[in-house]
């Protein structure tokens, strides 16, 4: 299987709206940076391929419903993806909750960054500027845009060439291959930014 590296940028390219997960829904809305996620690999023809997605990298957390803080990985670091979680469903958004038991939900599945830790790569908000139904995050890499997480996973399948099978079998093979890497560039931790 061919190797692929996901590089999480360290320079913000915009901002999106979030809320303080899991108990800070009444604390209002916050702004968090948007970063580039660069996918680098090689097609089956040997041609190098690069594709850029937009992601949330940091998030806002409230464990007491009274205070909030910015969380996420800020230091430069590289990890080998530790597996594919096919039954993961986004639980910090309302617009997909009616479908969480269905594999048709585009938010299904996540890549595990580190064993025993909560950092994942998964679907993020269809619209990062939605103040009515914002997506909460506490430091996972969340891929922004309608069906963009599906596009990312299809790209990984194309670039890495896993054995034939269902999409879930292919993604599971990729997650177990030790050939999918994620590199975080160093990024200043954002300050807590309230928006109205």
- Residue pair 19/29 in contact by the 8 Å Cβ criterion: yes
pTM equals 0.92
Q: E-assigned strands of the chain?
A: 4-8, 14-18, 21-22, 29-42, 48-56, 59-62, 69-71, 77-80, 83-85, 110-112, 120-123, 141-143, 180-184, 194-195
Low-confidence ranges of the chain (pLDDT < 70): 91-107
The whole-number pLDDT of residue 92 equals 57
Rounded Cα gap, residues 123 and 106, in angstroms: 8
The whole-number pLDDT of residue 108 equals 83
105-115: pLDDT as tens digits: 456 899 999 98
Largest CA distance in the chain: 55
Sequence-distant (≥ 6) Cβ neighbours of residue 70 within 8 angstroms: 32, 58, 59, 60, 61, 189, 190, 191, 192
The whole-number pLDDT of residue 124 equals 93
How many helices (DSSP H) and strands (DSSP E) are in the chain? 2, 14
Rounded Cα gap, residues 190 and 192, in angstroms: 6
The whole-number pLDDT of residue 104 equals 42
What domain range is 43 assigned to? 4-195
**Considering its fold, how many domains does the chain have in total?**
1
- Residue 85, SS3? strand
- Residue pair 141/55 in contact by the 8 Å Cβ criterion: yes
Rounded to 5°, the CA angle 118-14-42 comes to 65
């Amino acid at each position: 299987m061919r190797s692929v590296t996901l590089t999480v940028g360290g320079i913000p390219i915009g901002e999106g709206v979030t809320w303080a997960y899991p108990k800070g829904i009444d604390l209002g809305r916050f702004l968090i940076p948007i970063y580039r996620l660069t996918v680098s690999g090689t097609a089956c023809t040997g041609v190098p391929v690069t594709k850029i997605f937009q992601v949330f990298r940091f998030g806002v957390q409230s464990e007491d419903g009274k205070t909030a803080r910015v969380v996420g990985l800020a230091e430069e670091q590289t990890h080998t993806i530790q597996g594919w979680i096919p039954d993961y469903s986004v639980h910090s958004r309302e617009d997909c909750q009616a479908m969480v038991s269905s594999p048709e939900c585009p938010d299904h599945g996540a890549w595990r960054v580190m064993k025993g830790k909560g950092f994942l790569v998964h679907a993020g908000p269809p619209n990062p500027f939605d103040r009515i139904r914002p997506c909460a995050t506490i430091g996972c890499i969340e891929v922004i845009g309608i069906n963009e997480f599906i596009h990312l996973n299809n790209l990984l399948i194309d670039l890495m060439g896993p054995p034939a099978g269902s999409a879930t079998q292919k993604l599971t093979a990729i997650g177990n291959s030790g050939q999918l890497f994620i590199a975080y560039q160093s990024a200043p931790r954002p300050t807590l930014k309230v928006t109205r």
